[in-house]
Amino acid sequence: EAQVTQNPRYLITVTGKKLTVTCSQNMNHEYMSWYRQDPGLGLRQIYYSMNVEVTDKGDVPEGYKVSRKEKRNFPLILESPSPNQTSLYFCASSLQGVNTEAFFGQGTRLTVV
């Protein structure tokens, strides 16, 4: 089954404690991205990757890091989480280019206290 898998689904952590949210896709997609969803703001792109070892900042990259060592995996790293990073996070993947659609993971609800 084609899918994007994120882990964990729920996470509560304390300010400053490094964490990683994993994302994996089994569709051989080149393009992967991370979004955060906040009430009234919709989905905002954090980082994206066009292929292995190619990543770039989205609209709200501050406080986040990513890596793309393998095509299927695109982890999101918060080196020193802060309460303003409390949000719902989605990973998405797609083929690169026009006439493609994005597939989303189940989401990770992160709370930073």
Rule CB under 8 A: say whether 96 interacts with another protein.
Answer: yes
What is the maximum alpha-carbon separation in the chain? 41
**In whole angstroms, how close is the CB of 16 to another protein at the nearest point?**
29
Residue closest to 89 by CA, chosen among 13, 2, 1: 13
Q: Which of 23, 24, 35, 78 binds another protein (CB under 8 A)?
A: 35
Query: What string marks each residue from 42 to 71 as x (binds another protein by CB under 8 A) or -?
Result: xxxx--x-x-----x---------------
**In whole angstroms, how close is the CB of 88 to another protein at the nearest point?**
10
Closer to another protein by CB, 62 or 101: give it.
101
Starting at the edge strand found earlier in the chain, the sheet holding 65-66 runs 4-7, 19-25, 76-78, 65-66
**In whole angstroms, how close is the CB of 49 to another protein at the nearest point?**
10
> b vs e for 1-16, b when ≥16 Cβ sit within 10 Å of the residue's Cβ?
eeebebeeeebebeee
d(CA 94, CA 12): 29
Q: Which residues of this protein are in contact with another protein, per CB under 8 A?
A: 31, 33, 35, 40-45, 48, 50, 56, 90, 92, 96-107
